[in-house]
Amino acid sequence: MKQVSTGLEPKWKVLISVMFGIFMVILDSTIVNIAFPTLRREFGATLSDAQWVLSVYVLALGVTTPVSGFLADRFGIKRMYLLGIGIFALGSLLCGLAPTLGMLILARALQGFGGGIAMPLGPAQLYRAFPPKEQGTALGIFGIALVAAPALGPILGGWLVDLNIWRAIFFINVPIGILGVILGSQFLLDYRLDRRPRFDPLGLITAVVGFGSVLYAATIAETNGWTGSATLFWFGLGLVSLVLHVFVELKVAKEPMMNLNLFTNPTFLNASLVGYVATVALFGAEFLMPIYLQAFRGRSALDAGLILLAVAATSAVATPLAGRLFDKIGPRAIMVTGFVILCINTWQLSKIEGATSINYIVFLLALRGLAVGLTMQTSYVTALSSIPLNLLPRGSSLLNSTRSVVQAVSVAALATLLVSSLSPAVKAQQDQMQETMVTETAPFGVCETPGVAAADNLPPSAKASLAAMPAAAADAAKAKILSGLQVACDESMQGFESAYRITFYASIGALILAAFLPGWPAKWGGRGSTQTPMAGGH
């Protein structure tokens, strides 16, 4: 294929290609959430059936990501990355064309498989394209896509849903995917190991069953309960499979599919642990804020997305800055600063109330974005910078797959904590409102200004019921509604504070771990200065 002539150096072409493809995959993780009530209404689906549209995507990502590194080593990283982007685009096309809920779920699984292959391999390309002294900068710029995509998803999705063209949510991925494949085939580097690794069937089976079972258990824990038989079964199966996977990879397999010996590198291990704890502190809390804005404050999903842009805006500034600083002083000072900000910010968020000013919340979210930009991508860069180039696909695959499990379990745990603060009466009230929102799109918040204004903010069906009553009965019913709203608000905010308090403790843990990373005030030698010999080949 003829090379496209541009004035950019090859390394920047690689960066643009990778950002283009990965942005699409990450965008889809949030853009579909906004259309969930619309999808239920369109296909006439129950909540449990429609939930698979979201869950199957996460599951497919989770079971494919662990094997992506092996596939890259065996068949070539460029080929597998482009295949992943192509499969994702095909799945998007089939999602948009899906005539039934079942077909949509299958197409979403195809999307997840493609995304799971591509996600870990994109960043690994950058280490080959950029010299060691610029790799932090490159990963920092790449991080803009990681923070911008999930923030833009709800806004773009809400806009398309408002235009009544929900299928465009999937169709927009098709031209982006095609262009991503064209750019990648032109610009990406193609490198392989000197010898193709042997297939590790036991490692593959135990990884797929282990990661898939734990992720599935996390998706059903909120509704079935953590002690429910189904939840315990899938968690048990997942944990047993993962233990077997570790045994197989370390003791049985001659050429392991996942290189667990990477954890023998102290910097890789510590940076990975920091990333896991930070995932609990950051992404667990990011799950809480949309709930607060929509369920408690009555903001539409689109309005909530616009408010949450504050996180993306400051993250987009801080992430490339952190990358440049990483190249000069190493990760320690950057991440300690970020986690100090995060600790203060999380404590502040745990204290907000149902009537807290939205402007103040935007300020807190902007502050949080600085912490996100300084920490998340830096921990990832630190881990991968501590291992040899030939192990990058396996290292990226290992990091992404384990982080996805930590994120899923922590979000499920926080959701359960949030729900556990509610009395049975309030839970029944919220379940009823959730069903109502399938057919009614009027925003409704249990913590909006109390009094008549709150009653005026009720869904149309509730206001219609009040209007049909005699005046005395309507007044009594309205008083009961407002009393119930106050109880729901109080209980919900208690759960919100408890959940944020947990993420505050996680922030402290991440801060402590970050203090043991390399870098200023100690001497920083750049990439490779923290490498240790890796056991077990690749």
For 175-218, what is each residue's pLDDT tens digit?
Answer: 888 888 898 888 887 776 667 778 888 888 888 888 888 888 88
Stronger pLDDT, 470 or 332, i.e. the higher one: 332
User: What mean pLDDT comes out for the span 498-504?
Assistant: 82
Q: How far apart are CA 374 and CA 337, in angstroms?
A: 8
Whether 10 has a pLDDT exceeding 70, the answer reads yes
Q: 350 vs 143, 203, 298, 364, 365, CA distance in Å?
A: 27, 42, 19, 11, 13
pTM attached to this predicted model: 0.76
Does the CA dihedral 280-283-286-287 come out positive or negative? Answer: negative
The residue to which tokens 């580097």 are assigned: 189
- Residue 357 is which amino acid? S
* pLDDT for 453: 42
Span of 7-16, 344-353, 458-467 with lowest mean pLDDT: 458-467
Helix, strand, coil: what percent of the chain each, to 5?
80, 0, 20
> What percent of the chain clears pLDDT 90, i.e. is strictly above it?
9
Stronger pLDDT, 315 or 6, i.e. the higher one: 315
Give the 3-state secondary structure of 392-419. HHHHHHHHHHHHHHHHHHHHHHHHHHHH
Q: Contact at 8 Å (CB) between 493 and 353?
A: yes
Q: 390 vs 65, 70, 142, 166, 381, CA distance in Å?
A: 18, 12, 21, 43, 16
Q: Is the peptide bond before 459 cis (omega within 30 degrees of 0)?
A: no
According to DSSP, residue 386 is labeled T
* pLDDT for 111: 92
Q: How far apart are CA 270 and CA 518, in angstroms?
A: 10
* pLDDT for 83: 93
* pLDDT for 454: 46
Whether 382 has a pLDDT exceeding 80, the answer reads yes
Stronger pLDDT, 427 or 366, i.e. the higher one: 366
The residue to which tokens 């809920």 are assigned: 101
Mean of the per-residue pLDDT values for the chain?
78
* pLDDT for 286: 66
Pinpoint the alpha helices (H) of 443-524. Answer: 452-456, 460-467, 471-514
Q: Contact at 8 Å (CB) between 270 and 517?
A: yes
